[in-house]
Amino acid sequence: MAQHRFSSPLIGDRPAPVKFKPKLVCHSWAELETQTNNCRACGLHEDRIQVVAGRYSHKQAELLIIGEGPGQVEDKEGLAFVGDSGKLLDIMLDSVGLESWYITNVVRCRPPENRTLDSPFNAGSPRNGLSRNPTKTECQSCWGFLQSEIALVKPKAILCLGKVAARTILNTPTKFEKLLRIQHQYFEYPVWATYHPAYLLRQPQLSEHSPKWQVWQTLCQIKLYLEGCRL
Ligand code: SF4
């Protein structure tokens, strides 16, 4: 698959959004399924059990949630966020009443080994044995599919889980912690970034300003936005 240059989003201040006009590699859900299932554009195809599809409450959802890459359970099941991280995410979405969502990843095949350090900005860690973060090249290889998915879902808002997803969508080297808690813009889509639920699984505390508390705050902000509240 041809690589696509990352589009230039608008971060922080919000001038009038530019309309999202992706160079689509897939024009329908059927095309997306066929092309991804046959894709060998990056080295991740070598170790995958299968390509991992997006999971959703609604196919054309109000909120598009983007993680970094599938883990072991997802690789086995073929669906995004069906492991422990996904279960936690489902509970958190339910708890704020976010009912219309579509969850996918920046890459659709599992990055096999675990090379990441235990950091709030990465999902993988030597302790959880899930998967390493995808490389920039792998993210770029899968970018056309993610763009197609954005166009097909037509969300009203986007939530990036973890550093890789945030930096891929926002196309910025900005430190992850500086991207948290504020609304960004990717073309006409408002974007938020927050911690990956795999990180939250290792952070049980619920106190004010804890990672879980911060994710909760972000989900509430998105809920308010989707209900028409503009802060
Ligand atoms: S991660 Fe994406 S680009 Fe790489 S092989 Fe899988 S579907 Fe293709």
Query: How high is the pLDDT of residue 126?
Result: 39
Smallest CA separation from ligand 1 atom 4, residue? 42
Cα dihedral 170, 216, 85, 171, rounded to 10, equals: 0
- Predicted model pTM: 0.88
Please write the tens of the pLDDT for every residue from 166-186. 999 999 999 999 999 999 999
How many distinct helices (H) and strands (E) make up the chain? 8, 6
> What is the whole-number distance in angstroms between the Cα of residue 119 and the centre of ligand 1?
25
Q: What is the rounded distance in angstroms from the CA atom of residue 150 to the CA atom of residue 166?
A: 15
Comparison of pLDDT for 209 and 101, the residue scoring more: 101
Query: How high is the pLDDT of residue 229?
Result: 86
Query: How high is the pLDDT of residue 231?
Result: 66
> How many CB atoms within 10 Å of residue 45?
14
> What is the whole-number distance in angstroms between the Cα of residue 68 and the centre of ligand 1?
12
pLDDT band at residue 23 under the 50/70/90 scheme: confident
Q: What is the rounded distance in angstroms from the CA atom of residue 166 to the CA atom of residue 36?
A: 22
pLDDT band at residue 99 under the 50/70/90 scheme: very high
Quick check: 12 pLDDT over 60?
A: no
39 lines ligand 1 (CB under 6 A): yes
Query: How high is the pLDDT of residue 3?
Result: 39
Which CATH architecture does the domain made up of 32-226 adopt? 3-Layer(aba) Sandwich (3.40)
Quick check: 223 pLDDT over 70?
A: yes
> How many CB atoms within 10 Å of residue 224?
13
Residue type at position 49: I
> What is the whole-number distance in angstroms between the Cα of residue 145 and the centre of ligand 1?
9
45 lines ligand 1 (CB under 6 A): yes
Query: How high is the pLDDT of residue 230?
Result: 77
**155-167: average pLDDT:** 97
**127-154: average pLDDT:** 87
40 lines ligand 1 (CB under 6 A): yes
Q: For residues 165-179, b (16+ Cβ closer than 10 Å) or e, as one string?
A: bbbbbbebeeebeeb
Strand order in the sheet with 63-67: 55-56, 101-105, 63-67, 157-161, 189-194, 184-186
35 lines ligand 1 (CB under 6 A): no
Q: What is the rounded distance in angstroms from the CA atom of residue 213 to the CA atom of residue 171?
A: 26
- Tokens of residue 84, six digits: 């422990």
- Tokens of residue 108, six digits: 């659709």
Q: What is the rounded distance in angstroms from the CA atom of residue 119 to the CA atom of residue 193?
A: 16
Site of tokens 């030597």? 126
42 lines ligand 1 (CB under 6 A): yes
> What is the whole-number distance in angstroms between the Cα of residue 106 and the centre of ligand 1?
9
Quick check: 197 pLDDT over 80?
A: yes
65 lines ligand 1 (CB under 6 A): no
Query: How high is the pLDDT of residue 118?
Result: 39
pLDDT band at residue 6 under the 50/70/90 scheme: very low
Sign of CA dihedral 186, 190, 195, 201: negative
Smallest CA separation from ligand 1 atom 3, residue? 142
Q: For residues 55-69, b (16+ Cβ closer than 10 Å) or e, as one string?
A: bbeeeebbbbbbbbb
Query: How high is the pLDDT of residue 108?
Result: 97
Please write the tens of the pLDDT for every residue from 105-135. 999 999 986 444 334 444 444 344 456 899 9
**200-220: average pLDDT:** 93
4 lines ligand 1 (CB under 6 A): no
